[in-house]
Structures are given as C-alpha cells and as structure tokens.
Amino acid sequence: MLRKLALINFHNKEVMKMWRSSEQALDSIFLSYNKILKRFQLLGVTTKYGKEITHEDLRKAIEVMLKKHPTCRWRSEKVKSRKYFILDEGYAWLLQVYFNKEKSLIDADVDFFEDRIIQYEELLGLEHDENWWNEDMDIKQLCKYFNREEITIRKAINKMCDSGLSEYKSYIDGKVVISCKGVEWICKNVFKQKYLELLEKYKMKLTELYIKAGYPYDHFFHRN
C-alpha cells in the first residue's frame, strides 16, 4: 500500500513538474492579462503617475498597442476559453514602450522596433537591410512621400539645414532637391511616424521568415 502511494506521489510530482515546464514554455510565447499584471507588479512597473497598473490600465494600453500596430498581430484569442492572450513580443512592447517613463511614446516605439529588427536578423543570420531611401526628392515628391503640406516640408528642410546638414539640399532647374541621405534624415528625425511604419513593415517581413523557420508566433493557437 505504501509502495503504491509512493508511486502515485511520484507520478503526481512528475506530472506537476511537466505542467510547470509546459507552463513556463507557454509563458515564453504568450501571456494572459493577469500574468502580465503580475509581472508588472513584480518588476515595480507603474503608471506615469506612479500608481499600480490596474486591469483597466492594461486594457487601455493594449487598445493603444493594437491601434498603433495592427499588423504585428500581438493579441491572440484562445478558442476554447475565449480569453485574450498577448504574445511575448507584445508584452515587451507594453513594458518598453507604453509604460516607459523616460522617453516619448514615438521615440520608445522607434527604439523598440529597431531593437527587435536587430534581434530577428541575428537569430535568422541575416544582414541588416535598410535600403529604403534610394532617390533624391523635390518638394512635391516629399509632400507625397510624407503626406504633408508644402509648408510643413519646408520647415523640416530648414530644421535639417539648421542641424548642419545643408549639403543634403541642392537646387536643380530652379527646384529645391533633397538628397536620399537628406530624405532619410528627415524621416528619422522629423516625420518619425513614417519611419516607424517602415520599421514595422520590415519587422513583419522578418517575422514571416521567423515563422517559416519553425519558430512560434501568433499561429501557435492554430486560429489563423
């Protein structure tokens, strides 16, 4: 009888060990809202007012995340329990971007995507590819590219020149022309939202390669 109980206890311990191991593995892929809140509490992460992050605060943060980056597919839905789960990468965004008190949201967002891209490239053994600005542009082309009015574009050009980069500006046939290096500078330093969109697009291109290589992403729930 004692031997039988000992075997049962051993079996139960092994099952619990496997369950904990499986749970830890799953936590590295996705997290429930409650687990995110628990992690924030353990890390001492608070709102910008220094208060503990509530479930409502988290829901608002996730709505912002989904609105800003819908293509990243950071929120998955578990079919059976009908509960939402956040991919680990989405959790990292919440931690490093939304609840970051040291940087503006756009700057933290850009830094986050730049960092993720480096991680993906290193993991996949790819060289960095940021060949997005290949052509010089005149005022009209810049207005179209950045979707801004001419006056706003001219202010951006003045800011570039005031930063000591007037060599990026030239005149061709009486038109102001900005070199591809200048377009890149304006994108990264003035119209950062455009830069963020380019980063996100490239990041998702890498994500698809990551998935094809056999790594888990949002397809883990087999819902897509």
pTM across the whole model: 0.84
* Separation CA 110–CA 106 (nearest Å): 6
Query: What are the pLDDT digits (tens) for 73-92?
Result: 999 876 566 788 999 999 99
- Which residue is associated with the tokens 């929120």? 75
Mean pLDDT of all residues belonging to the chain: 87
DSSP state letter for 22:
H
Q: What percent of the chain has pLDDT over 90?
A: 76
* Separation CA 61–CA 145 (nearest Å): 30
pLDDT bin (cut points 50, 70, 90) of residue 183 is very high
